Homo-oligomer: A and B are copies of this chain.
Amino acid sequence: MQISLIATGKTNAKWIEEGIENYSKRMSRYGKFKYVETPNLKSKFSKADSKTVMKEEAVLQAKFLKGVDHLILLDERGKIYDSIEFSKHIEKLQVRGFRHVAFLIGGPYGFDPSIREQANATWALGPLTFPHHLIRIFAVEQIYRAQTLLKGEPYHHP
């Protein structure tokens, strides 16, 4: 089963990039995992016009959703798991025969309705609010952790 983590917009800090790389590299031993970022929007979209931003982001996100047969949005109001439950959920998706599961992290304003319509599920990391760039590290770490749990392998720190 292919797992993708799709983030909206380029990472804006070197340390965040390295954090994501740290976990996505380790994932290569567990099969197909891919971390991708959508291109940044042109600056003509002002901060005030959040609906336009989300709509334009959706166009860029859609390009990465081709072939995805199970889409999970990272959403503050989504379902909350503990790490064991989350790994069991990934296992269940595998058993159900999905070929390409994608986790999608939105931009600062959230998701366009067109993306929400396509989504099969939502996932919240917990009750705390975090910047959407930082959430990338948490998500990739949990996907990595889920794989180590499913394989019964010791977790490698950090």
Contacts and interface: CB of A to CB of B under 8 A. Distances in A.
B134 A130 contact: no
Contacts of A132: 157-158
Contact of A82 (B18, B127, B133, B134): B127
Contacts of A22: 13, 15
A155 B132 CA distance: 12
A85 to B, nearest CB: 8
Chain copies in the assembled complex: 2
A39 interface: no
19 contacts: A12-B157, A12-B158, A13-B18, A13-B22, A13-B158, A14-B18, A83-B129, A86-B128, A108-B157, A126-B126, A128-B138, A128-B142, A130-B138, A130-B142, A131-B158, A133-B158, A134-B137, A134-B138, A137-B137
